[in-house]
């Protein structure tokens, strides 16, 4: 059976069963280290193009895990949906919730967008997704039809402009994480307001950036002032593009 169709990262399948798929073309072997609620090590199956896959029973949302690469170093999941202990800690399995959004929301025509850009960490004293919600009605009174969030991908620490993000799939934990973001998006859609994300797809921040330990995510062909350039057009770039396409779909869908 070809399991490459699974989404990257941890996908909860239901009935206490979770699938894990990671691209690790630099590795000879990868093991899944489940750190809670039980501590166990599970060998992953090597697939084509440098992917590794495993399905595990007794693993539900809230379980935490790392990947052990070549039996000598452990790293969080590059496609982690939640980093509750920061950029160096274990990743956490997150449930996909198809019913988290409001049923009537179908988006806005582009010509109707009146965008208010905000930085989650400084827009309110609390610096959280939740704290934005009570201010949405005032923004709507001003004529705003969409809010644009400065980058929210998980970054080191609690205060940052967001352009040093290193976990593209994980909403910043100090802002409220994935559940806080879902609540904010739902509140916006209840008011017929759209949400736009500023994303960074040309580099990652330096601290907690473990992608190069896994696979050929970066290239020397290009250079950026902020770090290594991502590999979108040299060998192995198909898998890099897949990673970021799935990331964009994750933000818009889940």
Query: Is pLDDT at 100 greater than 80 in this prediction?
Result: no
Give the per-residue pLDDT at 97.
74
Count the domains in the chain. Answer: 2
Are 85 and 119 contained in the same domain? no
β-strands 218-224, 153-154 pairing? unpaired
Query: Is pLDDT at 229 greater than 90 in this prediction?
Result: yes
Domain that holds residue 173: 97-254
Are 77 and 179 contained in the same domain? no
Query: Is pLDDT at 193 greater than 80 in this prediction?
Result: yes
Tell me the CATH number at 92.
Answer: 2.60.40.10
Query: Is pLDDT at 98 greater than 70 in this prediction?
Result: no
Task: Look at residue 112 and give its three-state secondary structure.
Answer: helix
Task: Tell me which of 96, 126, 158 is where a domain ends.
Answer: 96
Question: Over the range 138-153, which residues count as b (16 or more CB within 10 Å of their CB) and which as e?
Answer: ebbeeebbbbebbbbb
Mean pLDDT of the chain: 95
Are 110 and 62 contained in the same domain? no
**pTM for this structure?**
0.94
Tell me the CATH number at 189.
Answer: 3.20.20.80
Residues composing the chain = 254
Are 12 and 121 contained in the same domain? no
**pLDDT bracket for residue 120 (50, 70, 90):** very high
Q: Which two tokens stand for residue 62?
A: 């809230």
Query: Is pLDDT at 244 greater than 70 in this prediction?
Result: yes
Average pLDDT over every residue of 81-97: 95
Query: Is pLDDT at 102 greater than 90 in this prediction?
Result: no
Give the per-residue pLDDT at 5.
86
Are 64 and 108 contained in the same domain? no
- The CA-based diameter of the chain, rounded to the nearest angstrom, is 57
Low-confidence winner among 1-15, 49-63, 76-90, 225-239 (lowest mean pLDDT): 1-15
Low-confidence winner among 98-102, 137-141, 143-147, 173-177 (lowest mean pLDDT): 98-102
Is residue 74 within 8 A of residue 38, CB to CB? The reply is: no
Are 217 and 128 contained in the same domain? yes
Identify the residue with better confidence: 228 or 111.
Answer: 111
Give the per-residue pLDDT at 242.
98
**pLDDT bracket for residue 254 (50, 70, 90):** confident
**Percentage of residues in the chain having pLDDT higher than 70:** 98
Q: Give the tens place of pLDDT for each residue, 43-57.
A: 999 999 999 999 999
Average pLDDT over every residue of 81-101: 90
Are 73 and 163 contained in the same domain? no
**pLDDT bracket for residue 103 (50, 70, 90):** confident
Are 87 and 113 contained in the same domain? no
- Rounded CA gap, 236 and 246, in Å? 16
Give the per-residue pLDDT at 1.
52
Average pLDDT over every residue of 183-194: 96
**pLDDT bracket for residue 179 (50, 70, 90):** very high
Q: Which two tokens stand for residue 105?
A: 């929301």
């Amino acid at each position: 059976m070809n399991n490459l169709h699974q989404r990257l990262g941890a996908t909860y399948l239901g009935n206490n069963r979770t699938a894990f798929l990671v691209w690790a073309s630099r590795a000879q072997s990868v093991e899944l280290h489940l750190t809670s609620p039980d501590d166990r090590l599970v060998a992953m199956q090597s697939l084509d193009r440098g992917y590794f896959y495993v399905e595990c029973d007794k693993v539900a949302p809230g379980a935490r895990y790392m990947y052990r690469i070549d039996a000598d170093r452990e790293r969080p999941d590059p496609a982690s949906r939640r980093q509750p202990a920061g950029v160096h800690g274990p990743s956490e399995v997150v449930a996909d919730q198809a019913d988290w959004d409001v049923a009537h929301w179908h988006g806005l025509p582009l010509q109707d967008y009146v965008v208010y850009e905000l930085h989650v960490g400084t827009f309110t004293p609390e610096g959280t997704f939740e704290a934005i919600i009570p201010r949405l009605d005032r923004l709507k009174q001003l004529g705003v039809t969409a809010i644009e969030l400065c980058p929210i991908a998980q970054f080191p620490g609690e205060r940052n402009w967001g352009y040093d993000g290193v976990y593209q799939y994980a909403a910043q934990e100090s802002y409220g994480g994935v559940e806080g973001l879902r609540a904010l998006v739902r509140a916006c859609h209840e008011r017929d307001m759209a949400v736009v994300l500023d994303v960074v797809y040309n580099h990652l921040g330096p601290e907690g950036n473990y992608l190069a330990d896994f696979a050929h995510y970066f290239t020397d062909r290009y250079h950026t002032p902020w770090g290594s350039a991502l590999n979108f057009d040299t060998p192995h770039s198909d898998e890099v593009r897949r990673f970021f396409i799935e990331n964009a779909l994750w933000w818009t869908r889940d």
